[in-house]
Amino acid sequence: MRRSIAQEHTHTGIWERARAWLATRDQAWLWALKLFLGYRLLFTIWGAWVSSVFPKSPIEATIGLWPTGVSLGAWLERILVWPTVRYDAYWYMGIAEQGYAYREGSTAFHPLYPLLMAIVGRVLGGNYALAGWLIAQVCCVCMLAVLYKLVLLDYDVAIAQRTTVFLIGSPLGFSFLLPYTESLLLLCVVGAFYAARRGRWVLAGLAGAGAALTKQPGVVVMLPLLWELWQQQRDNLRARKWHPLLLPLVGIALVPLGLLSYLVYRASLGDASFSLSNPFSLIDSLLVTPSYRDTWGEYFSWPWENLLLAIEQIRARPYFYLVFNTYLMAVAVVMVIYTIFRARRSYAIYSLVLLLMNLSIVYPLWPYMGILRRFTIIFPLFIQLAIWGRSRWVTPIILSVNALLWVYISEAYMRLAFVP
């Protein structure tokens, strides 16, 4: 009896100490972890069922929904990892294993994410699918926590929570769980904003450089960082006191240097070309590599060229995915434009440049393909949605519409192997 009472007191003491420790932790991380785990569980159940009906890999086809006849590790990998491995994930896995000699057009994928996959994959004995998945999960939790902290600089806890819920619960929110770049990219972006607003400019520059080395839109961060610097240092600028500006400018300079370093590497492979007589050629070379353009036909042009191409194809052959994408693009554009006029100025700059960039990448075979995934990293949009969510009926409406689109698009991703 004495022993059981002592054990009970010991267990109670451990539980109380655990609760006390959790109470002292940053609430942003606790909220991010709870939100991630709930969302991860939901997507795991949905993904396991869809991938059992539409298996796209030998592992999905041979290992069932229940761990019979296989090890627990193999079953967990089939349930958690392989339903997320589709399309671009194979590009990243190939680059991680073989470098940019993997396939023609592979240099369109910026190096930071496949480099991390290569490092973690070698630690895991060459399991690059698991490596990419693990990196995405960790980055997703960190991104949600940093975004929460960033929103708290201007708003209350309720808006910070709704922002993260609307982001992860958006129609393409599941892309943050995939072996794709989205979770790493948005982590670097919101990390750069948060560090800049706290006056930690070298950290902001490193995060911005990480964004530029993760995906093409990452370099956009440089412009809002310059605006934040102006806001913080305008008195020194007007007084021509240059010394306080030295370290922030060095930090911000890291962002374009990150992209230029990769451009130099691509040039060494013969996969970069531009002409001073063509204003789009430099942007095109930065955003769309020549080998990728030759392989897939994608290029950079005026925003209305994409729209005219979509309208022309809809009139000629109005197939569902094109009409669906064009409609969602139009809705997203209206919402982003509204956000631009309401958001903090640096957030507005970021949103505007990304909006123009997303609309200017022309894919003749399939206009606006993946457009919603590109809009998902415009985080100020979700802050604005969270502000609207103060109204009693707005949050249920947003979550309901997002849930319907989420089910449809995530099923299409796992069934068709890409987001149409």
Q: Closest Cα to residue 39, out of 165, 214, 178, 160?
A: 165
pLDDT digits (tens, 9 = 90+) for 37-57: 999 999 999 999 999 999 988
pLDDT(92) > 90: yes
pLDDT digits (tens, 9 = 90+) for 309-359: 888 888 888 777 778 888 888 888 899 999 999 989 999 999 999 999 888
pLDDT of residue 6: 54
Report the C-alpha gap between 355 and 359 in whole angstroms: 6
Domain assignment present for 238: no
Specify the amino acid at residue 100.
Y
* Range picked from 123-127, 237-241, 294-298, 357-361 for highest mean pLDDT: 123-127
**Under a CB-based contact definition with an 8 Å cutoff, are residues 315 and 379 in contact?**
no
Q: Output the average pLDDT for the chain.
A: 87
Residue 23 pLDDT grade (very low, low, confident, very high; cuts 50, 70, 90): low
Domain assignment present for 322: yes
Specify the amino acid at residue 402.
N
pLDDT(8) > 60: no
pLDDT(186) > 90: yes
Domain assignment present for 228: no
pLDDT of residue 372: 83
Domain assignment present for 374: yes
Report the C-alpha gap between 336 and 377 in whole angstroms: 12
Q: How many domains does the chain have?
A: 1
Pinpoint the alpha helices (H) of 269-393. Answer: 279-287, 290-296, 303-316, 320-342, 345-360, 371-375, 379-388
Helices and strands per DSSP (H, E), number in the chain:
20, 2
pLDDT(2) > 60: no
As given in the structure block, the two tokens for residue 125 are 């004995």
pLDDT of residue 155: 95
pLDDT of residue 87: 86
pLDDT of residue 239: 65
Look up the domain containing 318 and give its range. 301-388
As given in the structure block, the two tokens for residue 240 are 């021509």
Residue 300 DSSP code: E
Domain assignment present for 10: no
Q: Closest Cα to residue 86, out of 384, 382, 370, 395?
A: 370
pLDDT(195) > 80: yes
Residue 21 pLDDT grade (very low, low, confident, very high; cuts 50, 70, 90): low
Instruction: Using alpha carbons, list the distances in angstroms from residue 220 to 90, 216, 223, 266, 396.
Output: 26, 8, 6, 20, 33
* Predicted TM-score (pTM) of this structure: 0.90
Instruction: Using alpha carbons, list the distances in angstroms from residue 368 to 119, 351, 380.
Output: 34, 18, 21
pLDDT of residue 364: 78
**Under a CB-based contact definition with an 8 Å cutoff, are residues 166 and 385 in contact?**
yes
Residue 172 pLDDT grade (very low, low, confident, very high; cuts 50, 70, 90): very high
Domain assignment present for 380: yes
Return the number of other C-beta atoms located less than 10 Å from residue 89's C-beta.
23
**Under a CB-based contact definition with an 8 Å cutoff, are residues 313 and 343 in contact?**
no
pLDDT digits (tens, 9 = 90+) for 113-158: 999 999 999 999 999 999 999 999 999 999 999 999 999 999 999 9
Domain assignment present for 36: no
Torsion angle in degrees (nearest 10) through CA of 334, 213, 193, 344? -20
pLDDT of residue 313: 85
As given in the structure block, the two tokens for residue 208 are 């911005």
pLDDT of residue 278: 63
pLDDT(248) > 60: yes
Q: Closest Cα to residue 211, out of 379, 386, 410?
A: 379
**Under a CB-based contact definition with an 8 Å cutoff, are residues 259 and 289 in contact?**
no
Phi, psi of 419 (to 5 degrees): -90, 115
Torsion angle in degrees (nearest 10) through CA of 388, 392, 398, 399? 130
Domain assignment present for 373: yes
Q: Closest Cα to residue 322, out of 366, 257, 372?
A: 366
